[in-house]
Amino acid sequence: MVKAQWPRIVMRRHDNLDAEAGDRGGRKRCQLSLHHASHLLPIIASKRQYAYNWPMLEKPRLADPFLRPITYLRVSVTDRCDFRCTYCMSENMEFLPKRDLLSLEELDRICTLFIRLGVRKLRITGGEPLVRRGIMEFFTRISRHLGDGLDELTLTTNGSQLARFAGHLWEAGVRRVNVSLDTLDDEKFSEITRWGRLKQVLNGIETARDTGLRIKINTVALKGFNENELFLLTDWCADHDMDITFIEVMPMGNIESQQRLGSYWPLSDLRRRLATRFTLTDIPLRTGGPARYVRAEENGQRIGFITPLTHNFCESCNRVRLTCAGELFMCLGQDDKAEFRDLMRSYPNDDDPIIEAIRDAIRRKPRGHDFDYSRRRVAGRVPRHMSHTGG
């Protein structure tokens, strides 16, 4: 008989709550919310010890029903973009009217509330975040939280505007930037982004590196498209001292399913191919996101894998996503959402209802997504485009 166990609650002085269900019998109890756990703690620890071990409990914390602490907020600041990547957008996208977008002040307000509630990492994304008008003002203002609740302010960009904004970003305290780049071939770049120019992006990357920003390249693995550039891309990143992360293409947006199925390249296969040339060692590096890393022993290159399909990364999910229209998605691959734009507009001077709504939303965070390409069909697809939710 399986013996029921309480979840193991590990308290660390400067860390967040970690909990594990010991076995199947423990799973149900593991679904206790942090609210319940915080009521139990005084029973198992003296008040003094409790304050020593877990000082941040003095601040209100966020944890989901599976006791995963929510410490990472991704914010899509616009659904617009100067590219039209084929796996992300259709060519004739319809964008939200401006009045539906959160203003920069509203974005600041809600991000600030999340930081008060325990979010330590903010990633600004989109659409293309650097095409949002006035976005540098937002970076400058929100950077006041760095070192005071916020550990990292960062962004994901297609790189087209980096040459222009790298200096501002550095001044706002940004130190690491993810740049999406799927090919080093001019023509293929135009094909996959429809509207992009490779030269402009490479120039942006160079300027950002000269400014001191650390760049990580994100590459969507696309069968029949960049398979033959696997080593070219990896070597290029190694030569420029940049990490590279490969991403499995996800079934998002109403992009024709057979096209997506055809371009799906499982990272298990990509990794096997890398291993024909490199000795790959798993490394425990965690950057707060879903990537898992290896080191290529021959050149020391770090290579990340984001594998929502072949290896579901949900168990350690610490993230939620806010769209530019103020919707909070608790999971990239599920439809449930909470709406904040009208709520914030109804309570311009009172944050309590917003805080309550954030807590309520986090209590609904699901265990994980249902993406599945097995049996030659696309399952678990979500109709939103990645540019809407923020990748």
Ligand X SMILES: C[S@@+](CC[C@H](N)C(=O)[O-])C[C@H]1O[C@@H](n2cnc3c(N)ncnc32)[C@H](O)[C@@H]1O
Kindly tell me which residue out of 242, 250, 291, 328 binds ligand X, with binding defined by CB under 6 A: 250
- Rounded to the nearest angstrom, the gap between the alpha carbon of residue 219 and the centroid of all alpha carbons in its chain is 14
Angle formed at CA 387 by CA 329 and CA 193, multiple of 5 degrees: 160
**Residue 128 interacts with ligand SF4 (CB under 6 A): yes or no:** yes
Query: Which lies closer to ligand SF4 via its Cβ, residue 85 or residue 309?
Result: 85
Six token digits for residue 272: 């096997």
Number of chain positions touching ligand X (CB under 6 A): 19
- Report the distance separating Cα 97 and Cα 119, nearest Å: 29
Specify whether the CB–CB gap between 113 and 355 falls below 8 A.
yes
Q: State whether residue 73 is helix, strand or coil.
A: strand
Kindly tell me which residue out of 19, 32, 41, 88 binds ligand X, with binding defined by CB under 6 A: 88
Residues within window 143-162 making contact with ligand SF4, judged by CB under 6 A:
158
**Residue 32 interacts with ligand SF4 (CB under 6 A): yes or no:** no
Query: Which lies closer to ligand SF4 via its Cβ, residue 84 or residue 271?
Result: 84
**Residues in CB range of 174: below 8 A, 6 or more apart:** 139, 143, 153, 154, 155, 213
**Residue 218 interacts with ligand X (CB under 6 A): yes or no:** yes
**Residue 243 interacts with ligand SF4 (CB under 6 A): yes or no:** no
Kindly tell me which residue out of 71, 78, 86, 157 binds ligand X, with binding defined by CB under 6 A: 157
Q: State whether residue 270 is helix, strand or coil.
A: helix
Specify whether the CB–CB gap between 322 and 81 falls below 8 A.
no
**Residue 84 interacts with ligand SF4 (CB under 6 A): yes or no:** yes
**Residues in CB range of 352: below 8 A, 6 or more apart:** none
Kindly tell me which residue out of 54, 66, 72, 83 binds ligand SF4, with binding defined by CB under 6 A: 83
Shortest Å distance, C-beta 79 to ligand X = 10
Residues within window 348-367 making contact with ligand SF4, judged by CB under 6 A:
none
Q: Taking CB positions, which residue lies at the least distance from ligand X?
A: 391
**Residue 85 interacts with ligand SF4 (CB under 6 A): yes or no:** yes
**Residues in CB range of 99: below 8 A, 6 or more apart:** none
Chain residues in the site for ligand X (CB under 6 A) = 81, 87-88, 125-126, 128, 156-158, 180, 218, 220, 247, 249-250, 252, 386-387, 391
